[in-house]
Amino acid sequence: MTALGGRELVLGVTGSIAAYKAVYLLRELTRQGARVSVCLSAHAREFVGALTFRTLSGHPVLEDLFDPRSEDAVEHVALAERAAAIVVAPATANLLAKAAQGLADDFLTTLLLAGRCPVLMAPAMDGGMWEHPAVVANVATLRRRGVVVLEPDRGALASGLSAQGRLPEVEAIVEALRAVLGPRDLAGERVLVTAGPTREPIDPVRYISNRSSGRMGYALAAAAGRRGAAVTLVSGPTALTPPPAATFVPVETAEEMREAVLQHAEAATIVVKAAAVADYRAQRPAAAKIKGKRDLTLDLTPNPDILAEVAARRTGAFVVGFAAETHEVAAHARAKLEAKGVDLLVANDVSRRDIGFDADDNEVLLVDRWGGARGLPRMPKVAVADAILDAVIALRAAHAAPKAVR
């Protein structure tokens, strides 16, 4: 189960030009499996119509608490009890003030008073307002009460000013929400994750690599951090931003990755090797750019098998490997699990374009060294990451700690 999968959420939208971004947020929350009821303030309806939210959420939009014909009038109590969290995005200065004072003059503010679940607010407002003493005091009051109020982004605002006041990016809001909701079941663990491709130089401008974007490994690092672990992320070159709390170790080649992994593996309690390490490197990379149009033969030499080495050397860490396969995935996964001596192997079919390399989603087979095998349906990599960590926790609980050397 992911932090968001199957969770019932309320998305409150208030009257800001950034209200349209709440549509993208809603789409992402539902994509990650949340059931979302949207609650619009009267001003928000001036910016985006209720029909858009109703269509995307699949639920009626909650609008008017005081319309006697509306069933919404009693719904706020039931919803306040059911909701796993309330997210207000965008949260205007007006909404922050009302929430800080405990006013309840519409559906959303009443829900905020009635609810006992975590509340996350993503503010958006015009230049200078965020720094106004009244807003600063209201935000401090809300934070003291346990409300998570995100910092708005800095940049160009609708008024033309450039200041801190932009609604945080959808990914940042979702990540904060997952942190608010997620279990802290990896607190005290030290998790080492590898991600991305390696680059093996041919000459100063060319290299051997592969299509790994790093998304799978970064999702694992973010999930482990969210769940309370101290995370070290050893990553080949990617376009991604590492999770802010992780210790980040950038590398280029397989040799560099090996060195970094062996250095950090000793302290790790869980090692997850999602990186796509190049199996071969050029035997003798050229010192200068290779010129000319003649045929060229490149002599390759195998790279060290980092995963097998970590598994052989570990003294108690739980080791998870990946397997990138194009056919007979289950048979190859079982063989790789045994050859590499890992506890859990996560196999994916990299012949498909919709999963595996450079895709948002993955569909994996989990094979463990105690004979278990379980296929997971296609889902976003953030959800796959949580499922892998769930499997690690369950396997460790069910079986004795792995032996030092097998």
Binding residues for ligand PMT (CB under 6 A): 212-216, 254, 273-277, 279, 303, 305-307, 321-324, 336, 348, 350, 356-358
Please give the Cα distance from 266 to 316 (Å, whole number).
Answer: 9
Find how far residue 29's CA is from the centre of its chain.
Answer: 12
State the minimum distance, in angstroms, from the CB of residue 396 to ligand PMT.
19
Q: Give 175 or 349: the residue with its C-beta nearer to ligand PMT.
A: 349
Q: Give 100 or 234: the residue with its C-beta nearer to ligand PMT.
A: 234
State the minimum distance, in angstroms, from the CB of residue 357 to ligand PMT.
5
User: 234 near 193, Cβ under 8 Å?
Assistant: yes
Nearest to 197 by CA among 205, 207, 206: 207
Q: Give 304 or 372: the residue with its C-beta nearer to ligand PMT.
A: 304
The active-site residue out of 94, 138, 210, 362 is 210
User: Which residues make Cβ contacts (< 8 Å) with residue 320, sequence separation at least 6?
Assistant: 270, 271, 272, 273, 342, 343, 344, 345, 346, 388, 392
Active site residue 210: yes
Inter-axis angle of helices 254-265 and 306-313, nearest 10: 20
Q: What share of the chain is helix, strand, coil (3-state, %, to 5)?
A: 35, 25, 40
User: 37 near 59, Cβ under 8 Å?
Assistant: yes
Q: Give 38 or 277: the residue with its C-beta nearer to ligand PMT.
A: 277
Amino acid (1-letter code) at residue 88: V
Nearest to 4 by CA among 386, 393, 394: 386
Sheet with strand 364-368: strands edge to edge: 247-250, 230-235, 190-195, 270-273, 318-325, 344-349, 364-368, 373-375
51: helix, coil or strand?
A: helix
State the minimum distance, in angstroms, from the CB of residue 289 to ligand PMT.
27
State the minimum distance, in angstroms, from the CB of residue 324 to ligand PMT.
4
State the minimum distance, in angstroms, from the CB of residue 305 to ligand PMT.
5
Q: Give 107 or 357: the residue with its C-beta nearer to ligand PMT.
A: 357
Q: Give 84 or 254: the residue with its C-beta nearer to ligand PMT.
A: 254
Q: How many CB atoms lie within 10 A of CB 52?
A: 15
φ, ψ (nearest 5 deg) of residue 131: -95, -5
Q: Give 8 or 255: the residue with its C-beta nearer to ligand PMT.
A: 255
State the minimum distance, in angstroms, from the CB of residue 183 to ligand PMT.
24
Taken as a whole, the chain contains a residue count of 406
Please give the Cα distance from 203 to 108 (Å, whole number).
Answer: 61
Amino acid (1-letter code) at residue 31: R
State the minimum distance, in angstroms, from the CB of residue 254 to ligand PMT.
6
Nearest to 99 by CA among 58, 63, 149: 149
Residue numbers annotated as active site: 210
